[in-house]
Structure 1
Amino acid sequence: MKLILLNKPFNVMCQFSPHPTRETLADYIDIPNTYPAGRLDADSEGLILLTDDGKLQNRISHPDHKQAKTYLVQVEGTATSEKLKNLSEPLNLGDFVTQACIAKHIHPPNWIWERHPPIRDRANIPTSWLCIILSEGKNRQVRRMTAAVGLPTLRLIRSGIGGFSLESHPLMPGEWQEVDLPAT
């Protein structure tokens, strides 16, 4: 049984099958019968876990198991205490209400890489960095949450899943590492 940590680069599709215009996971990792446990949108970066074991894949990605996922989010605007409070509480996004989560303002992380291409830069509009930790992960949820409180996402990096993080397993975009499975 394998567990692989991959730092998915920006604009890479979270799939192994070919894509007509973008790179996929197959451009970075060539281990037969290995599949992602969860997804990241093409315009998001960061940690994905891959495994060759279906039960482990389910344990990592299924919402019933409530794996905490940590996101570092650069947003447009100033993250006021009111906006952070709104992000932390259940938030009605129209088609669903989010669960409560942790949302806090952080200093720009000094260990992350430059993004290519860089985010758009507007001299008159400040940006803020947030750390958002949630145990659900609906389609484009973090982006929708930040937009709903008036802080559009400029850059989204998943830095952790459960007990694994890019801070403790430093990987540059496109790099991967096989790790030992945690004792169960």
Structure 2
Amino acid sequence: MTLILFNKPFGVMCQFSPHPSRATLSEFIRTPGVYPAGRLDADSEGLLLLTDDGALQKRISHPDSKKRKTYIAQVDGRPAPDALARLRGPLDLGDFITRPCEASEIEAPEWLWPRDPPIRHRASIPVTWLALTLSEGKNRQVRRMTAAVGLPTLRLVRIAIGGFSLASHPLLPGEWRYVDAADFDAEESARS
């Protein structure tokens, strides 16, 4: 059983098949038979797990498994007093209501690599960094959540899935490494 940790760069599609205008996983990972366990949209960066085991892929990515995923988001503006409480939810996004999650304001991460292309800088509008840990992961969910509380996301980086994190397994954008699949549940249990 193969399990790969990959730091997906900004702009890369979470697919191996060719894309007409964007880079895909095939430009970084040459291991045959692996597939992403979950996705990150092209405008998001960070940790992606890939495996050749269908049962493990489902355990990692299926919403019923409630695997914790942690993101850091650079947002436009400062949170209103109730914004973090609203993010912690449940939050009605129209087509679904989010599960409760963890949300907090954090300092700008010093360890975070610069994004290419860089985020626009507007001196008149402050930016804030948030950390969010979800037990679900619907399409563009974090971006929709921050927008719903008046804080549009400028940059989104997934930093952890289950017990695996970019803190314990440092990878620069485009880098990947094999890990022991048995460690997936063990690392998450150790974090709990």
Fold in common (TM above 0.5): yes
Deviation of 1:81 (Å): 3.7
The aligned amino acid for 1:102 is: E
Query: Where does residue 92 of structure 1 map in the other structure?
Result: 92
Query: Where does residue 146 of structure 2 map in the other structure?
Result: 146
Which shows bigger deviation, 161-170 or 73-82? 73-82
Q: What is the aligned-residue RMSD (CA, Å)?
A: 0.9
Query: Where does residue 161 of structure 1 map in the other structure?
Result: 161
Contact kept? 1:15, 1:25, Cα under 8 Å: yes
Deviation of 1:132 (Å): 0.3
Query: 1:80-136 CA distances to partner (integer Å, 9 max, x unpaired)?
Result: 441111100111111111111000000111111000000111110000000000011
Correspondence 1:176 to 2:163: no
Task: Structure 1 unaligned segments of length 5 or more: list them.
Answer: none
**In 1, Cα distance between the equivalents of 2:21 and 2:51?**
26
Task: Structure 2 unaligned segments of length 5 or more: list them.
Answer: 186-192
Query: 1:9-62 CA distances to partner (integer Å, 9 max, x unpaired)?
Result: 000000000000000000000000010000000000000000011111111011
Identity of aligned residues (%): 66
The aligned amino acid for 1:120 is: R
The aligned amino acid for 2:58 is: N
Query: Where does residue 61 of structure 1 map in the other structure?
Result: 61
TM-score (norm 1): 0.98
**In 1, Cα distance between the equivalents of 2:81 and 2:62?**
32
**In 2, Cα distance between the equivalents of 1:117 and 1:6?**
20
TM-score (norm 2): 0.94
**In 2, Cα distance between the equivalents of 1:89 and 1:139?**
17
